Amino acid sequence: MSTLSGKRVAFLATDGFEDSELTSPWEAVTDAGATAVMIAPEAGTITGKNGHEQSVDATSADAEAAEYDALVLPGGVVNADDLRLDAASARFARDFFAQHKPVGAICHAAWLLVEAGVLGGRTLTSYPSLRTDLANAGATWQDEEVVVDAGLVSSRTPDDLPAFNAKLVEEIAEGPHAAQTV
């Protein structure tokens, strides 16, 4: 397994996230030696759709991509839809692409990437209902458990978490990707 010692990984979510899509990647990156940091639009605590509570370390308005080595976007319909409406969250996500850093998005999380305007010419997967939205944003959608495109790691559902986590850790360990850009 790749080591992520010394790496800082930002997780961006809000209330209504899919619990396992936050907790499982969080565990994968911290088990590999990284420090995970929770970013959300509001300070305090966020709650997943199944009740998992997560303390927020910084708000998206105050967070800077330059302080992190990678970004993870958990899914959940309510979470993803609410994040799309937060300009600071879209800016934060876009900055990871501008800085060529790895980004992981699972399930509905790709909605934020549509809003961030970073999907033109990219290949990814998501929950199947996002297929048209992603295509309209200029992406090529594939129905696979995990798709990796130059540092962008994507998966469809919680069933894909083992493959997602493995590729996420691998891409973070590799570091910046020149083709990971806006």
Active site residues: 107-108
Cβ–Cβ under 8 Å, residues 177 and 154:
no
Question: Cα separation of 64 and 96, whole Å?
Answer: 9
Q: Quick check: 7 and 172 in contact, CB under 8 A? A: yes
Cβ distance 2 to 173 under 8 Å? yes
The position carrying tokens 């105050």 is: 62
Closest to 14 (Cα-Cα) out of 76, 72, 104? 76
Q: Are strands 35-40 and 58-59 parallel, antiparallel or unpaired?
A: parallel
